[in-house]
Chains A and B, each alone.
Chain A
Amino acid sequence: MTNSNPHTLNIVAAALGGEGGGVFTNWIIDVAALNNWVCQTTSLAGVAQRTGATIYYIELIQNTAAKSKPVMSLFPAQGDIDVVITTEIAEAGRMIQRGFVSKDRTSVITSTHRVYGITEKMDLTDGTIDSQAILQIAQKYAKSLLSYDMANIASEHNSVISAVLFGALAGSDTLPFSKASYTQVIEQTGKSVSTNLAAFEASYQTAKSKGVGHYSPTTSKDNCAAVKFQLPETATQRGQPLLEQIRRLPEPAHHLAYLGTQRLIEYQDIRYATQYLNHLSEITQLDVGDDTFDLTTNVARYLALWMSFEDIPRVAQQKIRAHRENSIREEVQAESGQIITVSEYFSPQLEEVCGMLPRGLGAWILSSPINKVMAFFMGGRKLKTNTVAIYAALRILASLRHIRRGSLGYHLEHKQIDKWLAAIIEYAPRNLDVAQELAKCGRMIKGYSHTRRRTTTQLASIISATDEKTSAHEIFEWRSAALANDEEALTVH
């Protein structure tokens, strides 16, 4: 035997359950038939269809007059694949990991969008993977790489990703079939023909231009750092002193301090923002010896978020924002003019209601038997914000922010904020690394009710466990442990 015999063209298509991988392979069977090629496909149905990752394997060979039929393999084999085509970038990574991509032979076609895995989604902070790293590796190990956001093209044309993949395959010129045979297959289906053809065409053109125009090395995950920020020269008369105060902070902290200031003015008032900037100025004095000003920037970020803690007036304020209805309409793809009803799921707890009350009253209720009576009125509420009465109620609750400074909730939050800042201020002159790590613990303050109580308690125990012997790394470890799991109690030694 010699190697000049005809060989099959082998394609691995990786998809997630329910993405239409089966439709895609059937289309390839039909294209092959139109071109007088023999096509064999196999797939693994089984449990993979339930949201798991699955692959389809396709072999193609030109039909000849020969009487004997080709014998085609049912297994994709490492070193024997011509095209790897995936509906999502992490799946391209998986195919490389499994050895289906070889430098001398394999063209990789992949969408760059992300469908997050459960481990990425359930992380208490940010568990997402770095898709740029996968793209770089794909570039390095594939014979050729064609990558762009195919989900985007699909949604632009109100179509499905299989049609976009089909266009990518056609435009990649990896198979010896004419464009017309691909479009003919879509037309033959008789289903969603015009939208599928439009998506196919857009993808085909993008592929022809090698994905140019769609591939952009996106910003790193820390989206603040990527944009070069310039403080505005001037502000209104009332804003000018704040602006000046921000200007005196180290430059890397400008953007975050600016955003934080805006947030707190909207949250409360100018006085509150000044309070924030005063804290920052104090921290900056101690931020010596590190020209990234890591300490100041982290405090700028987490202090702004903590000071704008979500109490009932805050949530009410967010629910009645003027731009909210439009955001909702856009996200749920409501038709123009379509009537929508928005039902909010609230479950206010006694602590939150008392937190809104004047400090003395709130504390009294919490410690008196009357809380049993009040608790009866707490619990799950489903409220329609676009009805007049509920909207009015929310409007009143939102206006309670004006008396927030005297509330129990304010008092309790600021007591904890002060503890945190005090710890940072205590350690910064002695050990900047420790202070930086303590500042980063501000990331732990998030969530509502149980989650919030847990993270706040955890931060408090980290602060009280810190002493002169504590290393920055230890604090990092404690924080990681606290953020790794929200079911088991954190032990800080």
Chain B
Amino acid sequence: MAERSFAKEVLKLEAGDGETVKGEGILAITKALLQSGVSYVGGYQGSPISHLMDVLNDAQDVLSELGVHFEATGSEATAAAMLSASINYPIRGAVTWKSTVGTNVASDALSNLASSGVVGGAMVIVGEDYGEGSSIMQERSYAFAMKAQMWLLDPRPNLTSIVGMVEKGFELSEASNTPIFYMMRIRGCHVTGEFTAKTNRAPKFGKHNKVVPNREPEKIILPPNVYEHERIKIQDRWPAAVSFIHEHKLNEVFLGKHKQVGLITCGGSYNTLIRALERQGLADCYGNSDLPIYVLNVAYPLVPQEVAEFCRDKDQVLLFEEGQPEYIEQGLTTLLRRQDSTTRLFGKEILPRSGELTGQVTLLGLTRFLEEAITQGLLPNLELLLSSTQIEANANPLDPEDYDVLSLNVPPRPSGLCTGCPERPLFSAIKQVQQQLGPFHISSDIGCHSFATLEPFNLGNTIMGYGLSLASSSGIREALPHKAISIMGDGGFWHNGLTSGVSSAVFNNHDGLLIVVNNGYSAATGGQVIPSLVKSGRLIASTIDSGQPSRFDHQSIEQACRGAGVKWIRTISTYDIDKMKVTLTDALTTDQPGLKVIVAEGECMLNRQRRIKPIMNKAINTGKRTVRSRFYIDSETCTGDHACIRLSGCPSLTIKENPDPLCIDPVSYVDNTCVGCGVCGENVHSAVLCPSFSKIDLLYNPHGWDRFIATARAKVINMMSPAKVELPL
């Protein structure tokens, strides 16, 4: 049950020939895969392709009807290894992940896959998490394509091009026996639009039509085969790819009247470039441009004859290439030099060496290039609508004084844990233990818990990768004044942490503490299901509806750790802050050698609310006695020191103007989004906060007895209540 349901959208995947399909980029890709006759799909979730996994998950019916096999793989390496199905058989398949992080994880399998080569089309859809909205370090996938000799598609970001390029990509893969990277940028994944569908194709082979096992020993990556593989890559597959790309016109040339200059762009940046030209009066909104444009829908490899042809009559060409290093620029320079071309290629001299090609960056780069060309007399009679100075000024229209005022008055909004998040009490507990035993050096990991490194918890020193926190504590652990502390999510644990972390730590007599945050889902990527579940029978920590049988294939984190040799292991509900503090202290002070593991359990609250809200509403509407809880702060008792907020950071725990005119500082306040998780109360007790917090239980559909008691109590209390103090002034 992922965060977003595509149950309605997946019906569009059944569209037949000529039907118009409307939707997002990721939906278009899924449809294109089905139109291409894939036999298997898989992948690992992560922005920006999380939704692609969600669409596939929600499309199980469509997939199984066609005979397409789908796996939500354990990691990107698992997904990449799936592609080996296409080495010996003419079977098409596709996998997807977040890049470059996922590509890093998958690299071992990808290198071997690329060495062996494929006979069935094999495609990796990489969500290029680069630029604004990215959640990872800034690198490009391009390098992976170059080093393994895989081809990299980067289509124009409209749904028709996106769909067309998936289909062509499989043909290219088969024509050149090479696996393909298909790159989708963040905004391209979420862009909306429409395309004309084709009827889905059932896979040639699959569960409905089995293959005859076929052994081709020369494809196995052992010497001497690997030497031959390298030769084939360069001498056979590469030329085959270049001629396919050229013959099928995968790259596009748009002619323009100013033939002396030219623009080269990757498909993904094409729309931004057209807008820049439009704003200079050099194109219309339909893409008709006065300047010639060469669009690289295949970013790797380059096609020498196309480059030569495009540049032949041009004095100057500007290449729009995103990020660094400038691989395409280097490639084009080599090609032009080898061809003894006199065309001057501009790229990173004009455009920034790092960062995304945004609208502003593209317009500014284009304008600088054209201003230079105009100065040199290459573009007679051409007048630009905007000068580079004007464009630069657009980026900051504010007077210095107003700029300063805004800087002071626009608060930062870092990502944080959601309302009621089970990880919040864990970090409250760690923060409190730190006051006794700290300060701490903490090895953090990838996941929602990464947000603990931000305000208000400020816990965590390094993040080395998914599931790598425990591994990353091993170098520093002997040098720390306290036992090493690593925090990992359940997602990271199953992805990588069990092997890279736990097994290795046990083997090396690691004496530190590993906290596995078990919220029952891969929560940060959108709440996808993972192997482990949170135990049933706990009111707040369960991921299973009461009365429901637990999932039969549940894989236990605790069992896995024990299997890997961990002796000291405790499973604790995160919402029990006191118990968590005692256990943390115990783990950090015990004399018992070896790795200590605390499985901190509590269901992801976003998922929990999605799960229980309908149940609760149904209960209330059908007349069942139901209690709903939430918290409340007495603004008369609150002194406005906000210690509770510094320990929690819950979005529903906020502030409001102090109702007492004597007090200047705002009081803490619980808004109506509170889900009553109980952390505020736990913190009051464990951190000895103020007596302002109350839990309010709202009772729906009371029984007669409830009413009787309530009325009786109210009557007695009313009799006891103090007379109002009459103020003498």
Residues of A within 8 A of B (CB): 1-3, 5-8, 16-18, 29, 39-48, 50-54, 57, 61, 66, 68-80, 90, 93-94, 96-97, 99, 101-103, 115-126, 128-131, 133-134, 137, 140-141, 221-224, 232, 235-240, 242-243, 255-256, 258-263, 265-266, 270, 301, 304-305, 310, 315, 318-322, 324, 328, 331-334, 338-347, 349, 379-380, 382, 385-388, 391-392, 395, 398, 443, 446-451, 455, 486-487
Contact = CB atoms under 8 A, between A and B. Distances in A.
B728 A349 contact: no
Given A46-B134, A395-B720, 12 more contacts: A1-B281, A5-B284, A16-B413, A50-B418, A51-B417, A52-B413, A66-B286, A78-B394, A125-B664, A134-B410, A322-B721, A342-B694
A96 B640 contact: no
Contact of A140 (B275, B402, B696): B402
Given A48-B133, A318-B634, A224 B661 contact: yes
B729 A236 contact: yes
B694 A130 contact: no
Contacts of B724: 322
A239 B133 contact: no
A328 B632 contact: yes
B215 to A, nearest CB: 44
Contact of B662 (A44, A304, A324): A304
A125 B666 CA distance: 7
28 contacts: A1-B283, A3-B281, A3-B385, A44-B132, A45-B50, A47-B135, A48-B415, A51-B415, A51-B416, A68-B288, A71-B275, A72-B275, A73-B274, A75-B275, A77-B275, A79-B279, A97-B407, A121-B655, A140-B402, A141-B397, A320-B721, A333-B672, A343-B681, A446-B640, A448-B691, A449-B689, A449-B690, A486-B643
A449 B688 contact: yes
A265 B725 contact: yes
Contact of B191 (A42, A116, A134, A341): A42
A284 to B, nearest CB: 18
B418 A341 contact: no
Contact of A53 (B413, B662, B699): B413
A47 B415 contact: yes
Contacts of B129: 46
A392 B722 CA distance: 11
Nearest to B643: A451
Interface in B81-140: 129, 132-135
Interface in B160-186: 160, 185-186
B496 interface: no
A131 B409 contact: yes
A448 B640 CA distance: 10
Contact of A6 (B285, B415, B714): B285
Contacts of B414: 52, 118
B150 to A, nearest CB: 25
Contact of A123 (B275, B642, B699): B642
Contacts of B409: 90, 93, 129-131, 133-134
Contact of A79 (B391, B672, B686): B391
B684 interface: yes
B358 A75 contact: yes
A141 B385 contact: no
A18 B132 CA distance: 19
A75 B691 contact: no
A122 B456 contact: yes
Nearest to A57: B187
Contacts of B363: 77
Interface string B623-660: 00000001010101101111101100101011101000
Contact of A90 (B157, B410, B661): B410
A77 B358 contact: yes
A6 to B, nearest CB: 6
Nearest to A78: B394
B190 interface: yes
Most buried by B among A17, A126, A258, A387: A126
A447 B639 contact: yes
A323 to B, nearest CB: 9
Given A78-B360, A117-B411, A222-B664, A51 B688 contact: no
B193 interface: yes
B317 to A, nearest CB: 20
B190 A261 contact: no
A33 B134 CA distance: 31
A44 B691 contact: no
Nearest to B439: A487
Contacts of A121: 642, 645, 649, 653-655
A345 B694 contact: yes
B489 to A, nearest CB: 14
B192 interface: yes
A71 B158 contact: yes
Given A52-B415, A97-B406, A345-B695, A126 B665 contact: yes
A232 B729 CA distance: 8
Interface of B: 47-48, 50-51, 129, 132-135, 157-158, 160, 185-188, 190-193, 270-272, 274-275, 278-279, 281-288, 290, 358-360, 363, 385-386, 391, 394-398, 402-403, 405-418, 435, 448, 451, 455-456, 524, 578, 630, 632, 634, 636-637, 639-643, 645-646, 649, 651, 653-655, 657, 661-666, 672, 680-681, 684-691, 693-700, 702, 706-707, 710, 713-714, 716-717, 720-722, 724-725, 727-729
A319 B722 CA distance: 11
Given A77-B360, A79-B391, A122 B455 contact: yes
A29 B192 contact: yes
A210 B394 CA distance: 27
B691 A99 contact: no
A395 to B, nearest CB: 6
Given A301-B662, A379-B685, A448-B690, A398 B722 contact: yes
Given A51-B413, A118-B416, A342 B696 contact: yes
Nearest to A102: B397
A328 B160 CA distance: 56
B255 to A, nearest CB: 14
Given A73-B359, A261-B729, A45 B190 contact: yes
B406 A134 contact: yes
Given A8-B285, A133-B405, A347 B699 contact: no
Give the one of B129, B185, B363, B639 with max A CB within 10 A. Answer: B639
The 4 closest A-B pairs by CB, nearest first: A77-B359, A380-B685, A44-B133, A239-B728
B76 to A, nearest CB: 18
A118 B456 contact: yes
A97 B645 CA distance: 28
B655 A116 contact: yes
A126 B685 contact: no
Contact of B729 (A74, A235, A319, A331): A235
Contacts of A57: 187
A39 B194 CA distance: 10
A256 B157 CA distance: 63
Contacts of B416: 50-52, 118
Nearest to B647: A122
B664 A380 contact: no
B584 to A, nearest CB: 18
Contact of B691 (A270, A301, A344): A344
A122 B645 contact: yes
B719 to A, nearest CB: 10
A417 to B, nearest CB: 16
B411 A80 contact: no
Contact of B713 (A2, A261, A387): A387
Given A45-B47, A126-B666, A133-B409, A73 B642 contact: no
Contact of B394 (A102, A261, A341): A102
B654 A116 contact: yes
A339 B713 CA distance: 11
B133 A343 contact: no
Contacts of A334: 696, 698
B655 A44 contact: no
